[in-house]
Amino acid sequence: MSKTIFVLNGPNLNMLGKREPGIYGGGTLKDIENDCIAAGRELGFEIDFRQSNHEGVLVDWIHEAGDKAVVGIAINAGAYTHTSIALHDAIRAISVPVVELHISNVHAREEFRHHSMIAPAVKGVICGFGTASYVLALHALKSITA
Ligand code: DQA
């Protein structure tokens, strides 16, 4: 039976490649999806990779992950990380383990990025390793879901 992982991406991550390449690198979200699929294959995960600019859509997908009892969620919630009580509550509402991830080291950036609304609701946080943060998040999920 295949073990599904949701990799969820929040606002503006569809702009990767064009968006602030000095911070986020020159790769696109499609490149990251391909990396996740390749890593998933090695780890025994099927990757369901999604992006939305809309907070409620992300909430719906977290609920869907709970309903389907997927193995885990890796989420880069983008700017909603710093603002969204709704995402915090959605993560708390399911029993699926969630790993928060960021491409950049949010703690080395503007002060408003230092606080995560979702961090208290997730299993752990990975940030600052560029797009490799995604693959590291999959490894983290593997280590806690074996
Ligand atoms: C980000 C960091 C957030 O502060 C920012 O709003 C993003 C991307 C990252 O991956 O480094 O959109 O989550």
Three-state secondary structure call for residue 6 = strand
Which atom from ligand 1 is nearest to the alpha carbon of 127? Answer: 11
Q: Catalytic site residues?
A: 24, 102
Question: 3-145 sits in which CATH class?
Answer: alpha beta
Q: In this predicted model, what pLDDT tens digit does every residue of 63-95 receive, in sequence order?
A: 999 999 899 999 999 999 999 999 999 999 999
CA of 136 to the centre of ligand 1 (A): 16
Q: Is the CB of 76 under 6 A from ligand 1?
A: yes
Gap between the terminal Cα atoms of the chain: 14
Look up the pTM and report it.
0.97
Q: Is the CB of 92 under 6 A from ligand 1?
A: no
Which atom from ligand 1 is nearest to the alpha carbon of 113? Answer: 4
In this prediction, residue 69 carries a pLDDT of: 86
Q: In this predicted model, what pLDDT tens digit does every residue of 34-43 receive, in sequence order?
A: 999 999 999 9
- pLDDT by residue for the chain (146 residues), tens only, comes to 579 999 999 999 999 999 999 999 999 999 999 999 999 999 999 999 999 999 999 999 999 999 998 999 999 999 999 999 999 999 999 999 999 999 999 999 999 999 999 999 999 999 999 999 999 999 999 999 97
Q: Are strands 98-102 and 45-51 parallel, antiparallel or unpaired?
A: unpaired
Helix segments in 44-131, DSSP class H: 55-67, 85-93
Annotated domain spans of the chain: 3-145
